[in-house]
Amino acid sequence: MENVGKLNKKFKKWFVCGLIVGSSLVLSYNSFFRKKDNAKKDLITVVDKSPTYSLDEIQKNKEALISYSMTDAFRYGVINSISDYVKKAPHLSDTVDFSGDLSQMITYGYYQRIDGKKQVVITHINPDTLSIPNLSPKEKRMIASFAKYHNAETKRGAIKAHEFWHQNTNPDTQNNDMFILSDITKRGVFEYNLTTEEFAKICAHDEIGSRINSLLFLREQYQQEGKTNIFYGDFAFYGKAVRQGKINPLSENPKDIEQEQYFIVKSMLEIWEKKHKHNYQDYAIKKLTSHKPMSKGQKSEYDKALDKIYTFIWDGKLINLNYISEGIIPDVKLTEAVKDAAERRQLQEQKAEPPLQAKALQNNGR
């Protein structure tokens, strides 16, 4: 879910004046990997994007791939970038009237099951200057300015990239029987074998990964247009780093690329910890009710889920940026409320599980 926000008074100046304020992070000039000898050498892996199917078979599945999974569509050559997918993938539109009420809650985008099918929904802001009498010219300009900013193609593209990443990590597996291709994504990350604590962490990582995908979409726009002012809000740190010469999205030097990739993931996790994790704790607590007990005798698939979330389209390749499983970047920390909810869920699952003796009797009765 993207930008579920309350338009409070502190943003009033921004709406009137058009200012964009973002956070700033410090980038180390020294490569992390060149300093850490025990780092896994192949951690940043290029993922194979060439499944062995005929062009005719892929063409028959093109439309389904475009509405199912960004990375699957890329692997089959149906799209060549995040921007390409954002242009081609279908979504629903939801129009919201905005009349200047700064306490209004606006959900700019979401991904959920609608009429039996998972779909991405993107909000269009309608500037409503008629329903409230006696609006001043300044207030009308503020309303129109906000709508224009939100409805701009680049802004909406970044929100689409966010929501389409949720779709990518949690595709509509209930409706994937239309495919004749066998090696598409079969499970969403919440269907992996996870403890309740790991499941709660995946709630956070899935959101962080979607935010990173938005940044990578904007990175593609920068590579085409060379404008750093597109990096707004949570992404302002990236534009600042480009302007200061600390990262270079146009460089083909492997060391520069390595530096930039690590910087992006580390910075976005830090922003999550400082600004967002408490805002999403209610979502994680509610989501925990859908957790299924771990399959006995099978290992945790937490690292596999992280691989899925942090494998992005990067300059014509699929790149695995899962630094978390190796401890190179610290894992997310759950809030106390979410941690307590995970523990309660685990106790519920344990109580619901038949005792070992009862299990033995069940097996003997087969």
* Ordered per-residue pLDDT tens for the chain, 366 residues: 655 444 444 343 434 333 222 333 333 333 343 333 333 434 445 555 556 666 777 777 888 889 999 999 999 889 999 999 999 999 999 999 998 887 888 999 999 999 999 999 999 999 998 888 888 899 999 999 999 999 999 999 999 999 999 999 999 998 877 677 777 898 999 999 999 999 999 999 999 999 999 999 999 999 999 999 999 899 999 999 999 999 999 999 999 999 999 999 999 999 999 999 999 999 999 999 999 999 888 899 999 999 999 999 999 999 999 999 999 999 999 999 999 999 999 999 998 876 544 444 444 444
CB 216 within 8 A of CB 210: no
Can you say how many angstroms the Cα of residue 68 is from the centroid of all Cα atoms in its chain?
15
User: Does residue 358 form part of some domain?
Assistant: no
Give the pLDDT confidence score for residue 19 in this predicted structure.
28
Helices 137-151/153-169 angle, 10° precision: 50
Whole-number pLDDT of residue 47? 57
- Identify the pLDDT of residue 56: 77
Closest C-alpha among 171, 196, 199, 201 to residue 186: 171
| Residue 43, pLDDT score | 43
In a domain, 131, yes or no: yes
**pLDDT at position 134:** 83
pLDDT at residue 364, rounded to an integer:
46
Quick one: tokens of 226? 């060379």
Give the number of domains in the chain.
1
Is residue 204 within 8 A of residue 302, CB to CB? The reply is: no
Within a domain: residue 364?
Answer: no
Asked, for residue 258, whether it belongs to a domain, the answer is yes
* Residue 50: inside a domain: yes
Residue 355 forms part of a structural domain: no
**Global pTM value:** 0.84
Separation CA 17–CA 327 (nearest Å):
43
Q: Is residue 357 part of a domain?
A: no
pLDDT of residue 60: 77
The C-alpha torsion from 178 through 181 and 182 to 185, rounded to 10°, is -70
The pLDDT score that the predictor gives to residue 267 is 98
| Spatial CB neighbours of 52, under 8 Å, sequence gap ≥ 6 | none
User: pLDDT at position 365, please?
Assistant: 45
195 lies in which domain range? 2-350
Confirm whether 169 is domain-assigned. yes
Q: For residues 311 and 213, give the distance between their C-alpha atoms in angstroms, rounded to a whole number.
A: 10
Rounded distance, CA 121 to CA 156, Å?
11
